[in-house]
Amino acid sequence: MSLQLFGHPFSSYTWKVLIALWADETPFEFRMLGPDHPENGDELRRRWSFGQFPLLVDDDRSVAEATCIIEHLRAHHPGPNRWIPDGELGRRVRFLDRVFDLRVMANMQAVVFDALRPAEHRNPADRSIARERLRTAYDWLEVNLNQSPWAIGEQFTLADCAAAPSLFYADWVEEIDQRYPQLKAYRARLLAHPVVARAVDEARAYRPFFPLGAPDRD
Ligand X SMILES: N[C@@H](CCC(=O)N[C@@H](CS)C(=O)NCC(=O)O)C(=O)O
The site for ligand X (CB under 6 A) is made up of: 11-13, 51-53, 65-66
Residue closer to ligand X, measured from CB, 182 or 198? 198
Asked if residues 18 and 199 have their Cβ atoms less than 8 Å apart, the reply is yes
Residue closer to ligand X, measured from CB, 21 or 66? 66
- Region label for 87, one of left (φ > 0), alpha (ψ between -120 and 50) or beta (otherwise): left
Residue closer to ligand X, measured from CB, 24 or 101? 101
Strand stretches in 59-116, DSSP E:
61-64
146: number of CA atoms within 13 Å, CB side? 4
User: In whole angstroms, how close is the CB of 186 to ligand X at the nearest point?
Assistant: 21
CA pair distance 37, 57, nearest whole angstrom: 17
Asked if residues 167 and 16 have their Cβ atoms less than 8 Å apart, the reply is no
Name the residue whose CB lies closest to ligand X. 52
User: In whole angstroms, how close is the CB of 64 to ligand X at the nearest point?
Assistant: 7
Buried b (16+ CB within 10 A) or exposed e, 80-96: ebbbbeeeeebebbbeb
User: In whole angstroms, how close is the CB of 65 to ligand X at the nearest point?
Assistant: 5
User: In whole angstroms, how close is the CB of 146 to ligand X at the nearest point?
Assistant: 26
Rg (CA), the chain: 17
User: In whole angstroms, how close is the CB of 201 to ligand X at the nearest point?
Assistant: 18
Residue closer to ligand X, measured from CB, 38 or 51? 51
